[in-house]
Amino acid sequence: MGFVLPEYRHPDFSLPEFSSSPDVRTAPAPADGVAPEGYHSTSMYPEYFKIGGKWTLAADSRMDSSVVIREDGQPYVIENRNLRKGDAVVLGRTERAEEGIYMHCDGFTDAGGAGLDDQFVFRQGRSRETAFARDYDRLTELLSYEKEHGNIVWVMGPAFAFDAGARSAMASLIDKGYCHGLLAGNALATHDLEGALLHTALGQDIYTQRSMPNGHYNHLDICNKVRKCGSIPAFIKEYGLDDGIICACVRNKVPFVLAGSIRDDGPLPEVISDVYRAQDTMRGVLRKATTVICLATMLHTIASGNMTPSYRVLPDGTVRPVYFYAVDADEFVVNKLLDRGSLSATTMVTNVQDFIRITANRLD
Amino acid sequence: MGFVLPEYRHPDFSLPEFSSSPDVRTAPAPADGVAPEGYHSTSMYPEYFKIGGKWTLAADSRMDSSVVIREDGQPYVIENRNLRKGDAVVLGRTERAEEGIYMHCDGFTDAGGAGLDDQFVFRQGRSRETAFARDYDRLTELLSYEKEHGNIVWVMGPAFAFDAGARSAMASLIDKGYCHGLLAGNALATHDLEGALLHTALGQDIYTQRSMPNGHYNHLDICNKVRKCGSIPAFIKEYGLDDGIICACVRNKVPFVLAGSIRDDGPLPEVISDVYRAQDTMRGVLRKATTVICLATMLHTIASGNMTPSYRVLPDGTVRPVYFYAVDADEFVVNKLLDRGSLSATTMVTNVQDFIRITANRLD
Amino acid sequence: MGFVLPEYRHPDFSLPEFSSSPDVRTAPAPADGVAPEGYHSTSMYPEYFKIGGKWTLAADSRMDSSVVIREDGQPYVIENRNLRKGDAVVLGRTERAEEGIYMHCDGFTDAGGAGLDDQFVFRQGRSRETAFARDYDRLTELLSYEKEHGNIVWVMGPAFAFDAGARSAMASLIDKGYCHGLLAGNALATHDLEGALLHTALGQDIYTQRSMPNGHYNHLDICNKVRKCGSIPAFIKEYGLDDGIICACVRNKVPFVLAGSIRDDGPLPEVISDVYRAQDTMRGVLRKATTVICLATMLHTIASGNMTPSYRVLPDGTVRPVYFYAVDADEFVVNKLLDRGSLSATTMVTNVQDFIRITANRLD
Amino acid sequence: MGFVLPEYRHPDFSLPEFSSSPDVRTAPAPADGVAPEGYHSTSMYPEYFKIGGKWTLAADSRMDSSVVIREDGQPYVIENRNLRKGDAVVLGRTERAEEGIYMHCDGFTDAGGAGLDDQFVFRQGRSRETAFARDYDRLTELLSYEKEHGNIVWVMGPAFAFDAGARSAMASLIDKGYCHGLLAGNALATHDLEGALLHTALGQDIYTQRSMPNGHYNHLDICNKVRKCGSIPAFIKEYGLDDGIICACVRNKVPFVLAGSIRDDGPLPEVISDVYRAQDTMRGVLRKATTVICLATMLHTIASGNMTPSYRVLPDGTVRPVYFYAVDADEFVVNKLLDRGSLSATTMVTNVQDFIRITANRLD
């Protein structure tokens, strides 16, 4: 029957609790990267701030950040580390309009895609024994919709490139337009390019699993060759590669962000070595996302979850949900999201290789 | 390219180490269920016993059992608990012909299906990060072959019936002839029949996951109704059911064994309450198996692994491999098989719901 | 400060909802092992039944069972399989007195040991990252109390006997009076006796982990020798053993129940091969338990959880809580208890070897 | 009986294969951060390079790096990213002296601490069911030795600070001199300081687990306050803190490295935002380490494993082993080390809270 975008309803600001509420108070940030005492911190939900008597939705949010009122009278959601001395930071730790701040958790009342009952299910925790049939059906409908009308960002752990089948399933999804952005690390890109050039990952054949003689050099050789070429696109061109995830991104001009970590070899030239600059760049991609799918990476899943609000304000002013999926073989990883309050997420417990095989097959 | 049965080569018994070897020695079992001191215990591999100067393969083996030479001069593999006082039990704890016993681990030299390199890979351990693309390809080819020429036994944990999609995928495989026997417990059958009658498992809708009011009664009600009907087929008939795994088995006359456990409610009438009689009945089914696929059950997987040899002697005398698959979301479970020496197994780490979705889809 | 038994308060049956409630209705069981339509099924909580105008607490309960009113006018909690044709089985699926049935979840209002806040924490799920310091403190206090005033039953998975340290820590707890009953399977007892006779488990030294030559015979040899001796005590005497868990039980006359499973080799003579008779025997031990501690066994933990109510009526009529601990390295296992509604449990995620090292050390 | 340092034996370079071997070849690095084609990459084992006819051990090694011969004729192990254009990089991908490179895996023939049998055990994989009694005994002896004669570096995941008991056990080990360096991330330090100031971690009491009202602000407030103070020591002084892990490090002048990640809030001022600079700083600490203990962190464990060789050359020229422990509740994490070839490691599968409770108690 297809996916229908749930409608968003703003709070009824004509109610007395809103009209009688004071404007938000602010205080100047005392130093660069430091919030004033009593600063308000954002959630993943839509939050409204009463400014000059008017309730205004923060359009571009993320959790755990401060809100700065700029000269245009608008609220901006800024990570504390990015505050500048003197910024007018919203104060207040109540969210029911008492201090001019209102958090609106249930704006999407029509449960078209991921409504109340899902959230209930999620709160219960999910395990390998949860029934996922409906999740697959919904995801298929959602991605078909998002391909045309939304923005799908994939977040990927390194192991994804170890399997020839998963790798080519993902590449086909990119080629077909189901990927508008990719967030990963140095390892995913290096493994995938090793597959493209040598048909191995960490020296093991990605189809037969056979270990190649001296194959442990393959990984390091890829890093070294790409570094010598100066960039991933230059490397792809130099060696005439066209297979796998990264090639598909380059071919389709899908932006990818490779965030550095202390585990990295190499790194590839595109890897962002400063993690806070990497966060800013990731958020730049996630700002456009309407669906985020995280696969087999605790680090990048939590990082992305932190930066992804439960809603997006489209250019025409429409407020819509952002769908967030986390897929991992381990309950522990997907349940971490629950701890962090990402209640709008759908979590699935399975091997991501199989998840992508099934998903690509259904969208074929 | 399809599956080709690997050829089996008997040892070359004309070699001096075989011709100079003594006949096996035996001693009588001192009591029912007790082996004599120094008894030989079987492995999962083909084992030959020199009896009356002739090397004879034990045709119907399993690991960890004694070998009894009966009056016909043939070796029979008997669990110690099933020994009878006076049985002539083979003695000896060497397996290189020194005592008339020879274990032949590498008879299948042509690695058509699961040859040496697989074993090597398996020995390394497998994880959620192992590449499984080739395993799926091989399994598809294998099952297509076995449907016509072999005997496929499925071993199933209870959670399998929690998901509407997995349940119907499995039912379709049964309907299409890919299942010649099913081993499970009381819970799998009860959950599956709850799905058939009420579309729930433990009171949760198997598609929407919604908890039904008073749904915790559903499970107990199913047990009670089946017990009242006197048998599963009578229950299916009484309520006009036709959907799910157990209905498919009954409809297709596929034998199923339900082994009891101390976790059971009910139990259903077909459940075998004595675990050693259950073992014997399971072995009766596994005796015919040429491929065994174990899904999400540590208890039944290990039990089946213990009873399943690495080879089968067909009625025409052909010796062929038995393929053993263990699929589970948890590395710990599949790696237990490694500890137990089931080296001929293929282990896959994934959610069994997805495994069966993919497998059924490929065989469609 | 020590453990204080929380006080139990019966409901105030003078309130109108109780006095205006009808007596419970019953219907005869239509056949042996079959409950009548609409039977009431018990929970783990205290339940009262209005019989002859009087509210009576079922004294000896367990979950998922029927309630039979016998000629003495008392309610008896009977598993459906143990019903006899004609038994007067309580009907009703409401629990707020509407049909003469009242479930009393919050009788223990004083949170001395495991009060409301614990339950809340448990509902949230627990993981390897949960803080367990207070749980250890409480358990130490609890066991010191129970040693003198209660009845401590340990439920044990097979792996427990693999480690020399864990094994001797457990034996010392038994010797010191902290164990009034033991529930396990064939494997635990066999591994432990292998340790006692040969200092190995499955052929590996339990201290150095070194694999012994032909060590895979050790396990089978133990089974065979005990079977030859006819019983575990006879075996212990024959070989002069005195070390480990089973020897400590025998030495201290602690009853142990070994329930059979389809994984078993052997089995040892004491193993109960019929799982429903095993359930009955386990419930016989658990009937006296005031604290139950389950270690590294999904099968026995769930089985024991099913049979263990949240309260116990002492001979003097005092109603007290039963404390239920489940300890496992895997969140999945301990969270299964949550699914089954065992809300009064304390779950801890750790290696049981370390759990017992710490616990024995603190009680020293 | 105490720990005895195993003796190291250099290869016998008088043997013909060594004397007939050519000198190593080198080629200049073609650009900064790029190795020449055919570069040799190091392992974690001692490697000797024939330079000017003389076999020289690389004294300060790590795996997956190049070897540069500097003007002093000595081999230096340099990560590829740290190569400078023109550096004379050793070429060769054989390690049995054929090209002047010799890898010496079995120099520590006397298995005093972690000899051959341990390695064998490790190769088998370890699980929650492995016997760890001897590992605890050895670790206790080792740490007693290292406190006086070695250098112990702890590597710590964030969850470690969630439990009051684990946190104080670790602090006591630091106070007693069992910690010469600490590697962690922003989260560990922030959680620990939240515990020191507010007795919570992520807003939950670290002893009672009770969630504090508005407790989710605690974490962000700690970050903000430390940033305002300008440094961790300034924050500790300002608020008069003295409890927990970080306070113990500061009090005892134990160096700690906090490496940034894309999950970080804050970050604390000491966090190194550039991951490659963080790697260099970590290696600076690990260069001195003789025992490394990694607790509940896949990211930092693998990063540290990559940088830690299996041996150390002491100032007096003695070559000794570096002991590497990885402790985690999840087999998957500890087995990752096996994939990466860190064969000299000891892995233990348990909750790190319990590991540290036991270890601190034994060293008391």
Q: What is the DSSP string of A128-176?
A: TTS--HHHHHHHHHHHHHHHHHS-EEEEE-GGGGGSHHHHHHHHHHHHT
D182 contact C CB<8A = no
C192 contact D CB<8A = no
Residue A358 CA to residue D104 CA, distance in Å, equals: 47
**Is the sign of the CA dihedral D294, D295, D296, D300 positive or negative?**
negative
Q: Which two tokens stand for residue C162?
A: 């693999």
Q: State the nearest Cα–Cα gap between C343 and chain D, in angstroms.
A: 17
Query: How many Å is the maximal CA-CA distance in chain C?
Result: 75
pLDDT score at B110:
52
In chain D, whose CA is at the least distance from the CA of B336? D127
3-state DSSP assignment of residue D166: helix
A274 contact D CB<8A = yes
Contact A224 D332 (CB under 8 A): no
Position of tokens 């104080």? D168
From chain B, the residues in CB contact with C216 under 8 A are 41, 341
Which of A142-160 are b and which e, b meaning 16 or more Cβ less than 10 Å from the residue's Cβ?
A: bbebbbeebbbbbbbbbbb
pLDDT score at A341:
52
Residue A196 CA to residue A180 CA, distance in Å, equals: 21
Regions of chain B short of the pLDDT cut 50:
111-123, 342
Which parts of C52-131 are beta strand (E)? 54-57, 66-69, 75-78, 88-91, 101-103
Phi/psi of residue B19, each to 5°?
A: -70, -30
pTM score of the predicted model? 0.95
Give the closest residue to A189 by CA, choosing from A236, A252, A146: A236
Q: State the nearest Cα–Cα gap between B166 and chain D, in angstroms.
A: 27
Residue in B118, B351, B362 to test binding to A, most A beta-carbons within 10 Å: B351
- Which chains, if any, share at least 3 CB pairs under 8 A with chain D? A, B, C
Contact C181, C156 (CB under 8 A): no
In chain B, whose CA is at the least distance from the CA of D349? B332
Contact C355 D354 (CB under 8 A): yes
Contact D93 A263 (CB under 8 A): no
D223 contact A CB<8A = yes
Instruction: Identify the helix (H) or strand (E) that includes residue C277.
Output: helix C275-286
Q: Which two tokens stand for residue D339?
A: 């994939």
Q: DSSP H helical segments within D208-295, as ranges?
A: 216-229, 232-239, 245-251, 275-286
From chain A, the residues in CB contact with B166 under 8 A are 133
DSSP summary character for residue A297: -
Which parts of D125-255 are beta strand (E)? 152-156, 181-185, 200-201, 204-205
Which of B161-171 are b and which e, b meaning 16 or more Cβ less than 10 Å from the residue's Cβ?
A: bbbbbbbbbbb
**pLDDT tier, A112 (very low <50, low <70, confident <90, very high otherwise):** very low
Surface of C (31-50) touching B: CB under 8 A: 31, 33-35, 39, 41
In chain B, whose CA is at the least distance from the CA of A297? B129
As a whole number, the mean pLDDT across chain A is 93
What residues contact residue D313 under an 8 Å CB cut-off, 6+ apart?
A: D57, D59, D60, D319
The CA-atom distances, in angstroms, between A94 and each of A42, A101, C359 are 11, 7, 44
- How are strands ordered across the β-sheet holding A323-328? A256-259, A181-185, A152-156, A291-295, A323-328, A345-349
Residue C171 CA to residue C318 CA, distance in Å, equals: 32
**Is the sign of the CA dihedral D147, D150, D151, D152 positive or negative?**
negative
Surface of C (200-219) touching B: CB under 8 A: 202, 214, 216-217
Contact A218, A202 (CB under 8 A): yes
Q: Which of C35, C302, C306 shows the shortest C-beta gap to B224?
A: C35
pLDDT score at C109:
66
3-state DSSP assignment of residue B17: helix
With pLDDT > 90 as the criterion, what percentage of chain A qualifies?
Answer: 87
Residue B246 CA to residue B257 CA, distance in Å, equals: 11
Burial of A13 per CB tally in 10 Å (0-12, 13-18, 19+): middle
pLDDT score at D1:
62
pLDDT score at A114:
43
Contact C70, C125 (CB under 8 A): no
Q: DSSP H helical segments within C81-231, as ranges?
A: 116-123, 133-149, 164-175, 186-198, 216-229
Quote the Cα angle for A35-D262-A352, to 5°: 140
Query: Is A122's pLDDT higher than 50?
Result: no
CA atoms within 13 A on the CB side of A221: 19
Q: Evaluate whether ipTM surpasses 0.85.
A: yes
Other beta carbons less than 10 A from residue C12's beta carbon: 8
Q: Which long-range contacts (CB under 8 A, 24 or more apart) does D66-75 make?
A: D66/D29, D66/D35, D66/D39, D66/D40, D66/D41, D66/D42, D66/D90, D67/D40, D67/D42, D69/D24, D69/D26, D75/D49, D75/D51
Residue B362 CA to residue B359 CA, distance in Å, equals: 5
3-state DSSP assignment of residue D215: coil
Contact C29, C86 (CB under 8 A): yes
pLDDT score at B109:
67
In chain D, whose CA is at the least distance from the CA of B338? D124
Give the closest residue to B68 by CA, choosing from B42, B94, B44, B46: B42
Residue C362 CA to residue C138 CA, distance in Å, equals: 11
Query: Is A189's pLDDT higher than 90?
Result: yes
Contact C125 A332 (CB under 8 A): no
Contact D335 B128 (CB under 8 A): no
Contact B132 A329 (CB under 8 A): no
B115 contact A CB<8A = no
The CA-atom distances, in angstroms, between C322 and each of A29, C77, C142, C183 are 55, 17, 11, 17
C263 contact A CB<8A = no
Query: Is A339's pLDDT higher than 70?
Result: no
Q: Which of B134, B164, B210 shows the shortest C-beta gap to A208?
A: B134
Q: Which of C136, C353, C361 shows the shortest C-beta gap to D132?
A: C353
Q: State the nearest Cα–Cα gap between D334 and chain B, in angstroms.
A: 12
Regions of chain C short of the pLDDT cut 50:
111-123, 342
Q: Which of C127, C128, C332 shows the shortest C-beta gap to A127?
A: C332
Contact A80 D220 (CB under 8 A): yes
Regions of chain D short of the pLDDT cut 50:
111-123, 342
With pLDDT > 70 as the criterion, what percentage of chain A qualifies?
Answer: 94
**pLDDT tier, A231 (very low <50, low <70, confident <90, very high otherwise):** very high
pLDDT score at A196:
98
